[in-house]
Amino acid sequence: MPSCTRRAFLTATLAAAAVRSARSEAPPLRFGVTPVMLDDELGFLNRWARWLERQLGRPVVLVQRSRYRELLDLLLRGRLDLGWICGYPYVQHRKELSLIAVPRFQGRPLYHAYLIVAADSDLKTLADLQGRLFAWADPDSNSGYLYPRFLLTTSGKDPDHYFRRTFFTWGHPRSIDAVAEGLADAAAVDGYVWETLARRAPQRTAGTRVILRSPAFGFPPLVASAALPDALRRELRRLFLAQVQDAEGRALLADLNLDTFSIEEETLYDDIARMAARLAQGAVG
Amino acid sequence: MILPASYRLRLPLSLSVSAIATALLMALAVGLQTLANLREDQGRNALSLGHAMAGVMIQALRTDDVWLAYSLLRGPEGGGADSIWIVADANGRIFASNQPRRYRLDQPLREALPWLPEEGDAVLGQPTGRVTPVAQDEVRRLLRLPLAVDDSRVGELVALLSDAPYLPRFREILLGGVLVTVVVLGVLLPLGWLWGRRMVAPLVRLADCMARVGREDPRRMSCAVQVDASEIGQLGQRFSSMLDALAEKAELERQVVQAERLAAVGRVAAGVAHEVNNPLAGMLMAIDTYRGTREPDAQTRQLLDLLDRALQQIQGTISALLVEGRADTRHLRPEDLDDLAILLQPRLVRSQAVMVWRGAIARPLGLPAAPVRQLLLNLLLNATEAARAGGLVRLRLAQGEGELRLHVDNTGEPIPPERLPHVFEPYSPDRPQERGLGLWVCYQIVTQLGGHIRAAVEDGVTSLRVALPLGREGRE
């Protein structure tokens, strides 16, 4: 999921996909992703899209947006058929979106939020972070925004004034870089992203140290727009569930550092919904 | 710098030192010029980079997008760039920098850079930004570019530029210059050394030769000095002339000494001859008178005859010593020379020598006949005696430039060179058996006639050369 500086390349890719779709009889499936999770993965995403295309027998168009909010808007307005979004926006719009599949990471459809500081820093707990520089990932991210704010609120702190200054990086990998390079003293990041980056590019996570692991939350799900026909929705579910049985699909899963996809109940995201509700109260209160 | 005294070393050394100095100064000048150019380029590049980033920076400041500003400043080099870039917001707090650990987010710019000059009209009056030199440890130039939207300040872009990226290049250029210098000098130095030595070589030869003057006889000195149009050549020429003059002077001195010695001997001889001559004449006259007045007996006559002969012999010897220009006014005529040939004939026959006669005189010359006859006779008799059996005697007569030249050669045993200066002295020790007055008499006659005589040996031929100045009659 490349950053916006890759837009030119992306445009070319989309144009190529559009040409391909024009040849096809069936309308293309529009699949939305954001760089909030992983960046610099255009090659991988394209391979995934091509694999889906072959399985579905219809064109797949990858749509990238730099923020969760944009992606969510597109999904809600039916401009996207499928999206990989965070659990936090999902719980806010459960009624308008249908859960297709949930990735399984380290054997479970769950992940953790990590609180990280610079590796050479002497900060050890959340309490040490008061008056420091803090990087949020995205205002619609569970691990990079909702959970740390919930943690502070439940500890009786005002998340808006607890830190000296905060800013958004619009991506978990960038938050990791910001901490490693000293731009921020600490950040809250997606534990799956951190672990995956630690495997793929250990030099990037080497500059950071995890000081806090959150309880397990439901993994960011693949959701479909409400407008997506049931037949296609079922086909997609079947496809993602069976991906692990296909050799190429398995390789793609390995690249994503995921085990497989599974069908989960909506209740998987109740914890996130509770945190969101708590913060909404706090905001109102 | 203390140079050695000799130009032999001084000139090549000077050439080498100037070559080294030139090369090093060139390297330094090129290095410094490059450094100045690089600094200027750095300022210009930074300013254009600042302008290029200004639009996005303004957007980042207005939307509070710290990451956008940071990712732009961080650039592809990450935090490793040599220049420090800082964006401050409208409140003068750091919004982003490419060294986030050192220049913290939200830190007041004035606290991070206490030395930063106050923002006066100098900066605000320059909406296009400016680069000013500053004297900080790491920072040499400061770029300040105000970020504004429609005259309303939203922040400022600051760049701290250092020499760090250029010092290695400067050192590289210097090192390169030094290396090139060493290589070039490796070629130039031996050449310069050889060239210098070659330039100096004639001077050194001249100096060596000059050092010999005074220790050696200038007539025998031969020096290979350079003689051409150059200054050293002119010096060589002058030196050669000086050597010639010295040789001439030495020869003149030698002649003067010889002449004086001979003159002194002549005066002594003449004095003795006069003193002896008078009583001798008296004694001869007394014997004559005695014979005329008395009739002596046989025994007395015999005694008187004996006395007379002995006294005559003494007189003969004395008169030989007493060479004087007699009051003889008769001029030398061609017949005089013929007489000489006839007179010599018996002697030539006896010694089996061959006589060659070259040249003659056509008419009487302005020279007294008697001394010249005696001179020639003496010389020819000497030569005939020296030529020995089968030898050659040659007389060459020549007239010219107001003088008569007589050369008498013989092919006999040559006179050894060391004896040549002494042949005109009476009773020469190398010919003890002779009376030894022949050449001395010749010398006296020539001197009295105002001419000069010298002996020479050339190719085994002994030659006596006489030059006699002609009187008025002979020249006409």
How does pLDDT run across A76-120, given as a tens digit for each residue?
999 999 999 999 999 999 999 999 999 999 999 999 999 999 999
Task: Specify if A285 maps to a domain.
Answer: no
What single-letter DSSP state applies at residue A123?
Answer: -
* 8 Å CB contact of B66 and A167: yes
Q: Is residue A77 in some structural domain?
A: yes
Inter-chain residue contact B104 with A133, CB threshold 8 Å: yes
Query: Would you state the pLDDT for residue A285?
Result: 37
pLDDT at residue B70 greater than cutoff 80: yes
Together in a domain, A237 and A101: yes
| Pairwise CB contact (< 8 Å): A133 & B67 | no
d(CA A136, CA B356): 140
What is the reported pLDDT for A146? 95
Give me the pLDDT at residue B255, please. Answer: 79
Residue A179: predicted pLDDT:
96
Reported as a pLDDT band with limits 50, 70 and 90, residue B187 is confident
Do A131 and A56 lie in one domain? The reply is no
Residue type, B388: R
pLDDT confidence tier of residue B273, bands split at 50, 70 and 90: confident
User: Minimum mean pLDDT among A50-59, A262-271, B410-419: which range?
Assistant: B410-419
Q: How confident is the model at residue A217 (pLDDT cuts 50, 70, 90)?
A: very high
Higher-pLDDT residue of A202, A38: A202
Give the domain extent around A153: 113-214
Is the Cβ pair A167, B105 closer than 8 Å?
yes
- Residues A10 and A92 placed together within one structural domain of the fold: yes
Residue A245, pLDDT score: 94
Regarding whether A169 and A118 lie in a shared domain, the answer is yes
pLDDT band at B103 (very low <50, low <70, confident <90, very high): very high
Q: Cα dist. B75→B80, B84, B149, B244 in Å?
A: 9, 12, 24, 89
């999904």: which residue's tokens? A75
Q: Residue A71, exposed/middle/buried by CB under 10 A (0-12, 13-18, 19+)?
A: buried
The pLDDT value given to residue B130 = 81
Distance between CA atoms of residues B254 and B27, nearest Å:
67
pLDDT at residue number B418: 77
The Cα B248–Cα B77 span in angstroms is 92
At a CB cut-off of 8 Å and minimum separation 6, what does B471 contact?
Answer: B331, B365, B366, B367
Q: A219, A142 in Cβ contact below 8 A? A: no
Residue A165 near chain B (CB below 8 Å): yes
Segment of A170-174, A280-284, B267-271, B431-435 carrying the highest mean pLDDT: A170-174
Residue A167 contacts B, CB cutoff 8 Å: yes
Distance of residue B112 Cα from the nearest chain A Cα, in angstroms: 15
| Residue A281 belongs to some domain of the structure | no
Distance, in Å, from the CA atom of A257 to the CA atom of A265, rounded to the nearest integer, reads 23
| Interface contact A183-B105, CB threshold 8 A | yes
Domain B7-168 has CATH 3.40.50.261: no
How many other C-beta atoms lie within 10 A of the C-beta of residue B225?
20
Q: Domain residues of chain B, as ranges?
A: 7-168, 232-321, 331-475
The whole-number pLDDT of residue A26 equals 77
Asked whether residue A283 is assigned to any structural domain, the reply reads no
> ∠ CA(B461), CA(B465), CA(B469), 5° rounding?
165
Number of folded domains that form chain A: 2
Q: Name the DSSP class of B216.
A: B
Q: Is residue A155 part of a domain?
A: yes
- Identify whether residues A119 and A210 lie together within a single domain: yes
pLDDT beyond 90 at B22: no
Phi, psi of A96 (to 5 degrees): -90, -10
Cα–Cα distances (Å) from B202 to A114, B14, B208, B230, B370, in that order, read 93, 18, 10, 11, 59
**Residue A276 covered by a domain:** no
Same domain, A60 and A180: no
We report the CATH number of the domain holding residue A229 as 3.40.190.10
- pLDDT number for residue A262: 94
Q: Which residue on chain B is closest to A167 by alpha carbon?
A: B66
* Long-range interactions of B115-118: CB distance < 8 A, separation 24+: B116/B142, B116/B158
The beta-carbon neighbor of B105 closest among A133, A168, A174 is A133
The two beta strands, B392-400 and B354-358, are parallel
CB B94 within 8 A of CB B66: no
Percent of chain A with pLDDT over 90: 73
- pLDDT given for residue A22 in this prediction: 47
At B231 the pLDDT is: 84
Q: Is residue A118 within a helix (H) or strand (E), and if so which, with residue range?
A: strand A113-118
Do A135 and A197 lie in one domain? The reply is yes
- How many residues are present in chain A? 285
What is the pLDDT averaged over residues B167-195? 81
pLDDT digits (tens, 9 = 90+) for A21-71: 444 567 899 999 876 556 666 788 888 999 999 999 999 999 988 888 999
In this prediction, residues B393-422 reach a mean pLDDT of: 84
The reply to whether A13 and A104 lie within a common domain is: yes
Q: What is the CA radius of gyration of chain B?
A: 55
Residue A280, domain member (yes or no): no
CATH architecture of B331-475: 2-Layer Sandwich (3.30)
User: What are the chain B neighbours of A181 within 8 Å (beta carbons)?
Assistant: 74, 78-79, 100-101
Res A182: pLDDT: 92
Distance in angstroms (rounded) separating the CA atoms of residues B74 and A181: 10
Mean local confidence (pLDDT), A177-206: 93
Amino acid A1: pLDDT: 36
Same domain, A133 and A93: no
SS3 B405: strand
A282 in a structural domain? no
> Which of A167, A169, A182 minimises the CB distance to B101?
A182
> Which chain B residues have a beta carbon less than 8 Å from that of A133?
104-106
Asked whether B402 and B366 are in contact (CB, 8 A), the reply is no
From the candidates B59, B70, B72, B87, which should be mutated to test the interface with A, based on the most A CB atoms within 10 A?
B70
Q: Inter-chain contact A184–B105, Cβ cutoff 8 Å?
A: yes
Closest CA to A112 of A148, A83, A156: A148
